[in-house]
Copies of this chain bind each other. A is one copy, B any other.
Amino acid sequence: MSFAAVDVIRTKRDKGVLSDEQIDWVVDAYTRSAVADEQMSALAMAILLNGMTAAEIARWTAAMIASGERLDLLTVGRPTVDKHSTGGVGDKITLPLTPLVAACGAAVPQLSGRGLGHTGGTLDKLEAIPGFGTKLTNEQFVEQLSTVGAAICAAGEGLAPADRKLYALRDVTGTVEAIPLIASSIMSKKIAEGTGALVLDVKFGSGAFMRDVADARELARTMVELGKAHDVTTVALLTDMEVPLGRAVGHSVEVEESLEVLAGGGPQDVVALTMALAREMLDAAGLADADPRAAIDDGRAMDSWRALVRAQGGDPDAPLPVADEVERITADRDGYVATMDAYAVGVAAWRLGAGRARKEDPVSSSAGIILHRKPGAAVKAGDVIMELRAEDAAKLPAALEVARTAVTVADAPPNPRPLILDRIS
Residues of A within 8 A of B (CB): 5-6, 9-10, 13, 36-46, 48-50, 169, 171-175
Contact = CB atoms under 8 A, between A and B. Distances in A.
Majority SS at the chain A contact face: helix
A172 B169 CA distance: 17
19 contacts: A5-B172, A6-B174, A9-B45, A36-B38, A37-B37, A37-B38, A38-B40, A38-B172, A39-B172, A41-B41, A42-B42, A42-B44, A42-B45, A42-B174, A43-B174, A45-B46, A46-B49, A46-B174, A49-B50
Contacts of A49: 13, 45-46, 49-50
A38 B172 CA distance: 8
Given A41-B42, A42-B174, A43-B174, 6 more contacts: A6-B174, A9-B174, A10-B174, A13-B175, A39-B173, A45-B45
Of all A-B residue pairs in the complex, the 3 with the closest CB atoms, nearest first, are: A9-B174, A45-B45, A42-B173
A36 B10 CA distance: 21
A40 to B, nearest CB: 7
Contact of A45 (B13, B169, B171, B172): B13
Contacts of A41: 38-39, 41-42, 45, 173
Nearest to A357: B4
Nearest to A48: B13
A43 B175 CA distance: 10
A45 B38 CA distance: 11
Contacts of A13: 45, 48-49, 174-175
A414 to B, nearest CB: 29
Given A13-B45, A45-B45, A173 B50 contact: no
A373 to B, nearest CB: 34
Contact of A172 (B36, B46, B175): B36
Contacts of A6: 171-174
Most B CB contacts (10 A, CB to CB) among A36, A38, A43, A175 go to A38
A117 to B, nearest CB: 10
Contacts of A5: 172
A169 B38 CA distance: 8
A164 to B, nearest CB: 15
A291 B257 CA distance: 89
Contacts of A43: 174
Contacts of A44: 42
Contact of A173 (B9, B172, B175): B9
Contacts of A40: 38
Most B CB contacts (10 A, CB to CB) among A38, A42, A46 go to A42
A34 to B, nearest CB: 12
A16 to B, nearest CB: 12
A246 to B, nearest CB: 30
A6 to B, nearest CB: 5
Contacts of A42: 41-42, 44-45, 173-175
A409 B171 CA distance: 55
A210 to B, nearest CB: 15
Contacts of A169: 38
Nearest to A12: B174
A296 B391 CA distance: 83
Contacts of A9: 45, 173-174
A44 to B, nearest CB: 7
A173 B38 contact: yes
Nearest to A35: B172
A43 B44 CA distance: 11
A17 to B, nearest CB: 16
A42 B169 CA distance: 10
A7 to B, nearest CB: 8
Contacts of A50: 49
Contacts of A39: 41, 172-174
Contacts of A172: 5-6, 36, 38-39
A40 B5 CA distance: 17
A36 B175 CA distance: 15
